[in-house]
Structure 1
Amino acid sequence: MLEYLPPLNDHNLPYPDTIHPIVVHFVIAMVLFAVVCDAIGYFTRNPRLYEVSWWNLFFATISIFIAIIFGQVEAGLAEAYAAVEPTLNLHTIIGWSLSGVIAAMTGWRYVLRVRDPKVLPVSFLGAGLFLTGIVLFQVYLGDLLVWVYGLHTVPVVEALKEAGLQ
């Protein structure tokens, strides 16, 4: 069965480079932009920005599940040596949790939008601020995985192969 799988490259992946960071950057941008649009729309009383925010949250909800799928595949192919495991596990748990939080906020936003698309309660802005905090912490963990621990970087993959840890 394994002979049907493509060989792993110098990034320890069956495709040219990591896909998870590419997709997840769209999610990050859409979520943060949605929160910013909500805040600006609320304080300037411009309900057109609520529509922009709604569509960003909607597509972020879809995109985060795509990011998680690739993240799970790439985490499974990564050489998770002892030092990286706690950070990788926390990043995975928060990623799955974040998908639920974003989906719940999108559902909440949909209900608010159906009731009155020109009104946004302060509690939703507070939830958006909480969501921003989770996203920023998740970005920090992802940065650690790449820039400190070097997951899927050529030098780390080669070093692990040479050390016989693969």
Structure 2
Amino acid sequence: MLEYLPPLNEHNLPYPDTIHPIVVHFVIAMVLFAVVCDAIGYFTRNPRFYEVSWWNFFFATISIFIAIVFGQIEAGLAEPYSVVEPTLNLHTIIGWSLSGIIAAITGWRYVLRVRDPKTLPISFLGVGVLLTGIVLFQVYLGDLLVWVYGLHTIPVVEAFREGGLK
């Protein structure tokens, strides 16, 4: 069965470069923009921002699952060395948790939108601030994996293949 899979390239991937960061940046932008739009709509009393926020949460909910699929594939192909494993495991756990959190917040946002599309409770803004904190911590962990530990970078892949990393 393995002979039917494409060979891995210098990034240790069957495709040209990592896809997870590309998709996950859309999720990050949509979630943060949704929270900002809710805050602007709340403080300016302009409900049109709530509509923008809703659609950003909606598409972020779909996109995070796509990001997780590629993240799981790429984490499996990364062959993480021992120093990386705790950070990669925490990043994975928080990523899966965020998928549920964002889906729940989107569901809550939908109920609020159906009940009254022109208002938003302050508690929802508070949850948005907490969500922003979790997302920013997740971004930090992802940055560590790429910029400090070098997962899927050519020098790290070569070092691992030569037996220099364990």
Q: With the length of structure 1 as denominator, give the TM-score of the two structures.
A: 0.98
Tell me, in whole angstroms, the C-alpha distance in 2 between the residues paired with 1:67 and 1:9: 21
Q: Aligned to 1:145, what secondary structure does the other structure show?
A: helix
Q: What does residue range 120-159 of structure 1 map to in structure 2 within 5 Å?
A: 120-159=120-159
Name 1:94's counterpart in structure 2. Answer: 94
Name 2:78's counterpart in structure 1. Answer: 78
**After superposition, what is the alpha-carbon deviation per residue over 1:106-148, rounded to whole angstroms, capped at 9, x for unaligned?**
0000000000000000000000000000000000000000000
Q: What does residue range 8-157 of structure 1 map to in structure 2 within 5 Å?
A: 8-157=8-157
Tell me, in whole angstroms, the C-alpha distance in 1 between the residues paired with 2:2 and 2:12: 15
Q: Which amino acid aligns with 2:154?
A: V
Extract unaligned runs of 5+ from structure 2. Answer: none
Q: Aligned to 2:17, what secondary structure does the other structure show?
A: coil
After TM superposition, give the deviation of residue 161 of structure 1 in Å. Answer: 1.1
Tell me, in whole angstroms, the C-alpha distance in 1 between the residues paired with 2:23 and 2:15: 15
Q: Which amino acid aligns with 1:132?
A: T
Extract unaligned runs of 5+ from structure 1. Answer: none
What is the total number of aligned residue pairs between the two structures? 166
Tell me, in whole angstroms, the C-alpha distance in 1 between the residues paired with 2:79 and 2:139: 20
Tell me, in whole angstroms, the C-alpha distance in 2 between the residues paired with 1:98 and 1:27: 11
Tell me, in whole angstroms, the C-alpha distance in 1 between the residues paired with 2:89 and 2:29: 23
After TM superposition, give the deviation of residue 53 of structure 1 in Å. Answer: 0.2
Tell me, in whole angstroms, the C-alpha distance in 2 between the residues paired with 1:80 and 1:161: 12
After TM superposition, give the deviation of residue 164 of structure 1 in Å. Answer: 6.1
Q: Aligned to 1:82, what secondary structure does the other structure show?
A: coil
Tell me, in whole angstroms, the C-alpha distance in 1 between the residues paired with 2:101 and 2:159: 38
Matched, 1:163 2:146: no
Q: With the length of structure 2 as denominator, give the TM-score of the two structures.
A: 0.98
Tell me, in whole angstroms, the C-alpha distance in 2 between the residues paired with 1:34 and 1:121: 15
Q: Aligned to 1:111, what secondary structure does the other structure show?
A: helix
Tell me, in whole angstroms, the C-alpha distance in 1 between the residues paired with 2:71 and 2:153: 15
Computed over aligned residues only, the root mean square deviation of the Cα atoms, in angstroms, reads: 1.0
After TM superposition, give the deviation of residue 163 of structure 1 in Å. Answer: 2.0
Q: Which amino acid aligns with 1:101?
A: I
